[in-house]
A and B are shown apart, each in its own frame.
Chain A
Amino acid sequence: MTTAVRKKDKPKRIREAKSARINRSIGGTVVIFLFLALASIFMLLPIVYTVVTSLKPMNEIFLYPPRFWVQNPTLSNFSTMAELAGEMWVPFERYLFNSVIVAVLGTIIYIFIASMAAYPLAKRHTKGMSIYYSFVIIAIMFRPEVTQIPLYIIMAKLGLINSYAALICPVLAGTLGVFLMRQFMETVPDEIIESARIDGAGEFRIFFRMIMPMVKPAWLTLVIFTFQSLWSTVDTTYIYNESMKTLTTVLQQISSAGIARAGAGAAVALVLMIPPVVVFIISQSSVMETMAHSGMKG
């Protein structure tokens, strides 16, 4: 099946190049570009300001009149942060290790289980499935602030306190990924699944060899959401063992402890931003490379 998909890529590439010119005026494209450029400035300005602030020495942060740009850039905010992190009870590497394990392992597991659950929800048209699915959707809307105590009791009963599972399980139980995958699988035509079945393919083969490659943009996007939410988890409820804490938890404590000011806070924010941005760039550039499954339809 995969080879069949690949073979179809070539003619499609040519078609795409041609179809890009259909119904497009150059003037309109220029106007759109200028509009997006202006909007980009608005989106980026606070981020740039964070970067600039993290490079400001203390006296410039409280300069009057305030200046946007930094005069004498310094890395002192980053070294303050590193020093504070170095003084913690547990070596810094341990926090980083915890964060990476939780984020990577959790993301991989979630992509699998969410996609698997989404397949029958998308392609098995029974009443039971649609009732189950409506629960999946509305569960997204319940605010987590009031489920913390019941969740704590469940975690304690299952003996998960102070374990990686305590950090990963709530994310694995989230319904956003199932919702996203199900919505994309919905667009896969029933006919091609049907013809694969007639050819004798089992459900697992259909799922891994046909469905998953076709909804690649969806699960690559889900990688971003899942990694981001696992990485940014600040957990002081289920984890009190210092050596099990994540980097995000510890760095947030540093920046909110009052020792650090605007500069170190910005430095912490920037350091924490790096891994999600890297994951975003890798996965998003693969999204851009995937080809639409046009040849597959009908």
Chain B
Amino acid sequence: MKKAAAAAPNRAASPLMKQKQKEAWRSRIPTMVFLAPFTILFVIFTVLPIVAAIGLSFTYFNMLETPSFVGLDNYIRMFFDDDVFLIALKNTLIFALVTGPIGYILSFLFAWLINEFGRKLRALLTLIFYMPTLAGNVYFVWTYIFSGDSYGLLNSTLIKLGIISDPIMWTTDTKYMMGVVIVVVLWMSMGAGFLAFVAGLQSMDRSLYEAAAIDGIRNRFAELWYVTLPQMAPQLLFGAVMTISTSFAVGVQSQSLTGFPSTDYATHTLVLHIMDFGSIRFEMGYASAVAVFLFAMMVIVYQVVNKALSKWST
């Protein structure tokens, strides 16, 4: 846990500095004033509901009667009595393993490449790449593009070009569904992490590049590796957490593209499973257990990524 805070550099303060710092912050009043407004809201509207949901995961709760305690039943049911959960788990892991690393690398790559240009072009390119996230739920437009009959934009284009002769059922044929959802998720992956990278590159210390050039850095890739990336450690961690929390939570995109439930549950995910039990079947206890399980998976992945990042940046 301690490592969580140690991910960023600039830690090499001398013992004397530390001593001084402690003195300066000795008065707790400013600290409390700084923390209080957020902390109060955080505890009431974030921590309490999460604790309550974790509590509900050990109960049977149909949202009408009071919850009754069932111990670990919900967790046992997931693995031994719910085949669809196992499919959802498998699909979630596939989505996370594919869209997570690719989305993360792409959002840094684009932020870095955009930074190579002048201010105006940079602003325009940032807008273009962030547009899918900014546009909110515009991803429904992909359903017209991937529509399975010959009215679909992609099918009609491919037929016109003579690449295929019959329309492909992009969103209902299990062979293609996964790929279609992955394309749309990646299209939307320039999100919070991407903008944090853009802002981080913007606040880079320029004099470091000059020093690096004098030290013999000869091209932009070496500069990226030896100068930019180590300086960007705090933003890289932020982007990683954002990527984890979106790539493990694929669901709404799959729902609007391939329908719910999708053919043979081919693009069913844990988030959709939670929504299914939470708002359709009124089994909140079980839905909460699935949510807690998903949360635990993400936290473990975060711990691994955080350890790796902090080891690499120091």
Contacts A49-B145, A66-B153, A266-B141 known; 4 new A-B pairs at CB < 8 A: A50-B135, A116-B38, A276-B134, A288-B122
- Name the residue in A43, A139, A265 with the highest tally of chain B Cβ atoms < 10 Å from its Cβ: A43
CB of A223, distance to nearest CB on chain B (Å): 11
B5, B53, B113, B192: the one contacting A36 at CB < 8 Å is B113
The 6 A-B residue pairs with the shortest CB-CB distance, nearest first, are A173-B45, A150-B52, A130-B5, A147-B49, A117-B38, A183-B234
Among the stretches B80-88, B257-265, B292-300, the one at the interface with A is: B292-300
Known: A32-B113, A147-B50, A176-B192. A47 touches B5 (CB 8 A): no
Q: Are B144 and A262 in contact (CB under 8 A)?
A: yes
B48, B114, B241: the one contacting A137 at CB < 8 Å is B241
CB of B38, distance to nearest CB on chain A (Å): 4
Closest chain B residue to A276 by CB distance?
B134
18 sample A-B contacts, Cβ–Cβ < 8 Å, listed by A number: A47-B138, A112-B37, A116-B34, A130-B5, A142-B50, A146-B291, A147-B52, A179-B241, A183-B196, A218-B203, A228-B133, A262-B144, A269-B135, A277-B134, A280-B130, A289-B119, A294-B207, A297-B205
Q: Are B34 and A47 in contact (CB under 8 A)?
A: no
Distance A228 CA – B298 CA, assembled complex (angstroms): 25
Known: A46-B142, A49-B141. A143 touches B41 (CB 8 A): no
Distance A289 CA – B203 CA, assembled complex (angstroms): 11
Q: Are B17 and A174 in contact (CB under 8 A)?
A: no
Distance A266 CA – B289 CA, assembled complex (angstroms): 37
Among the stretches A75-83, A84-92, A93-101, A189-197, the one at the interface with B is: A189-197
CB of B251, distance to nearest CB on chain A (Å): 9
Residues from 117 to 137 in B contacting A, C-beta threshold 8 Å: 117, 119, 122-123, 125-137
Q: Are A151 and B49 in contact (CB under 8 A)?
A: yes
Question: Cβ of B137: which chain A residues have Cβ within 8 Å of it?
Answer: 232, 269
The A interface, classified by DSSP as helix, strand, loop or mixed, is helix
Known: A139-B46, A143-B274. A293 touches B205 (CB 8 A): yes
Q: Are B46 and A174 in contact (CB under 8 A)?
A: yes
Q: Does A65 contact B (CB under 8 A)?
A: yes
CB of B55, distance to nearest CB on chain A (Å): 9
Known: A36-B114, A172-B45. A145 touches B287 (CB 8 A): yes
Distance A116 CA – B39 CA, assembled complex (angstroms): 11
Q: Does A44 contact B (CB under 8 A)?
A: yes
CB of A46, distance to nearest CB on chain B (Å): 5
